[in-house]
Every structure is written in structure tokens, then in C-alpha cells.
Structure 1
């Protein structure tokens, strides 16, 4: 697959000039920094002009397209495993090779090598550089359209360990997933301990009742190719993952082909 630079040098310089990507010392993303964020990020983000394509996730990258269930017959499970391998290859070729998934020939670099430290919503996080523009467009959309006072206290991005089981691989290891406030935005079906959380006790009228993050934030992320795992049977309301086309994030890249199909 053709691999190109995420942003041209001119674009990177422009984003840096706007304060879009503020690098921290390598390896010190300080994602446990939970001091209250200054609301100044909203003014800064709202004033930026980062022009991204609106796009939906590529369907075969969505977990529900390839995860298997015990009640599925062999043929369906086989087909879904094939879709899963296609998704792994896509992530490897575009974001980096993570040991145990895919082949190193698909990408000479690891996701960690392709990732950088930055501040998003004025919180430190480490992300794959290929999705930074999309994350900035989500931040810009939220700053412009969400009237709430919600301020994330903690973000989680790139991880060096896979926390998924049964042959699955978390998008966190590719640096393309973002968790917002894991202690407040629940994942009621992730592990049994979560079911003790007060927001997981009663049957909610809406999945949005499982979290403190406003619904508007979900819409802001989804507009630019992020998938919210609150839609998944895991009900992971903290979790967003970029499943769009990284070759067509910016309008200057041209429209994502899958959006015209």
C-alpha cells in the first residue's frame, strides 16, 4: 500500500504555529495528569481553521464487523476471522507493526515510532501522528458546537500492551484510540469490576446515561471518522477510535473514496 507523509512540512508548520501540536519530552505523555484543564483550549480550537473531510468509519474496521460469538456457525466465524485479518493488515500498513498481529513486512515501523506526544483538550496524550489532524478537527468541532462546561481530566492514547483477549487487538496499541476520563465514562461490559460502578447498576434509558461526557462530544468525534465504542456491546463510553481513511483526513487530500460508494 502506498504510504505517504501524514502532513506536508508546510501543514505541520502551520499546525504548530497555531499551537495545534505541542510536543512533550518523548516518553513522558503524563496521561495521569488530572489537574483541571483550562477552558482556554476551546477559544484556541474554535479559532483554528483545520479543514478535514467529514467521513464515516470504514465498515470492516468496526469491531462488530469481525468479532465472533459462540452462537455463530463455523462459516460465519471463518468469514469474520477473514475480515479481522483484513482489518489487522490495514492497521499495520497504515499505523505500524505490533508484535503478534500481522507481519513485519507490512510496515518497517512500530506504532510507537509513528506516535508523538501532544495536548488535546489541554490534556497530555500520545497518538499516532497519522490521526492527529482528525483529532484536531474533532476538538475544533466540539469547541465550536458544544455549549457544555465538560472538561476532560484525563486522556489515554497509545499503549505498549494489548489489553484485548481472544485474538483481538486494541486500537490503543496503534495509537489511534482515545479514552476520555476512564473513571467517569464507563465500560459496563468490559470487565466484571465495571459492573459495580454506579452508572452500570440500572438499565439506562440511553447509553449516554452511562457516562458524564456530553452526547455532543460523541457527535464531534464521529463527524471526522472516529467510531465511538459506546455503540458496541462492550458499551465502552470513554473510547473513540479513528477508523476512517488516514489517506484522506484533510480536505486537501481529496475526498475519502468510501464516502462516494
Structure 2
């Protein structure tokens, strides 16, 4: 694969991932769709598109994925949607990314991975940024939404950890999306009394599931094998930044000093952990 194609695919994947935050926030802020319906339509449309992609490759997702991972996927998607009823796109993306990375780094430490001094400093910096972002104050994000996004990020971190070494990632993701559909349908039925839907909200949810999730994951899994581990990890640091820029330019969201400082602390701290970890691995 040529370098130009790798760059284009990687950029498209990062834009797609950031697009999930923008689409969800726009739908729940500007249309009448409820969070449960958004989640269900997103997961259902994502499952359909991923299934079609796998079938176009003359393969089948049969037997791929598992129910625990599907439940983690559902918790991520539901927490994500309900959090964005109150959070800005930038704040939500930043909390989500910080929680995902903290979960994965924390698991590494729990199973015996040693952190060197620069990594510990980076981890403390990232946690400090998350805490600083959520502390009470005039520019603090809503607490309920922040907690829901933290739960969403932890769930996605668990999902990512469970997916390591699980086989073809596109097939595994497809299998998990398909399993998540009945779970999210059950949630929508349970919350049917509060359901609300309009045309714009429906298409935002379909775009989030089919394009930003389904096509986005397929593109990313195509590019990842061509990227070094360090590059693949650090490139993902761009997602909250892209979401923040999109929130300002497309949704007209304000940028606060608290958000800027928290972004520098969280993304800088995580970058320090990732890069030092990869440097240590390559030196062995």
C-alpha cells in the first residue's frame, strides 16, 4: 500500500471517529430524537453496513465476536448518546478518549506492566486534566453527562482490550455489532414512553452508525496493519482535536480556557505514556 493511500485512509478514519461526536451532539441538541432511539438506530445501521462490507469480501461474520464484548459495545454507545444530551462535542470527545486510554493503561499496570518515571508523569498529567475539566465551576461540563461519558469510555476501553488478538477485527466488530442490536432494541422498548423521532435525527443516527462507525472502522482496520504501533496509537490523539474544531466550526460551540488546558494536559500526558512505552518496547 502506498504512503499516500495510508495517509488518506488514516485521515478519513480519524475524521469518521470524530464525526461520531459531532453527529450525536447535533442530533440530540438540534432535533427531537431521544438518546435511546439514536443509540438503537446507530448500532443497527452500523451492523448492517459492517455485515455488507464483510459479505463483499466474500467472508462471513458467523462465529465472530462474543456477547460480553457486544454488551461492552452497547454500554459505550448508550453512555455516549445519553452523555451528549448535555456535553459539547469537544468536551465529550476529550472525556471519552481520556477514559478509554486510562482504562487500557490501567489494565496494563494491573497485569504487571511497569511504568517508567516519564510515563507516571504523563499518567498523572492526564488524570489531572480529567479532574480539572470536571471540577465545579462556571465553565464545568454537566456532571451527569461527564459521568456517563466516563462510563462510555471505560466500556470502550474494555471492548478494545477484549478485541486484542481476537481474529479479523472487521469480522469481530461486525459480530459484536450484530449481537448488540437485540440489547439496544430491548433498551428502546423499555424506554418507549420517552421515545421521540424526527427525520433529521433519524438520518444523523444512520450517518453515525453506517458511515462514522461502520465505514470508519473498516477503513481504520485497513490502515492499521500498515502503521507502526507508535503511529497508530499517537494518531488517535487527533480525534478529540478534530471533534473540537468541528464543534467550533460546524456547531458553533465555544472554546473555554478550562477545555484548552485540560486538552493539553490529557492529550499531552497520554502521548507521553504511549511514546515512552513504545520506545521501551523497541529497545528490548
Which category describes the TM-score, using the shorter chain as reference length? under 0.3
Larger RCO of the pair (alpha carbons < 8 Å, separation 6+): 2
Determine which structure has the larger helix proportion and give its number. Answer: 2
Determine which structure has the larger strand proportion and give its number. Answer: 1
State the TM-score, normalizing by the size of structure 1.
0.25
State the TM-score, normalizing by the size of structure 2.
0.23
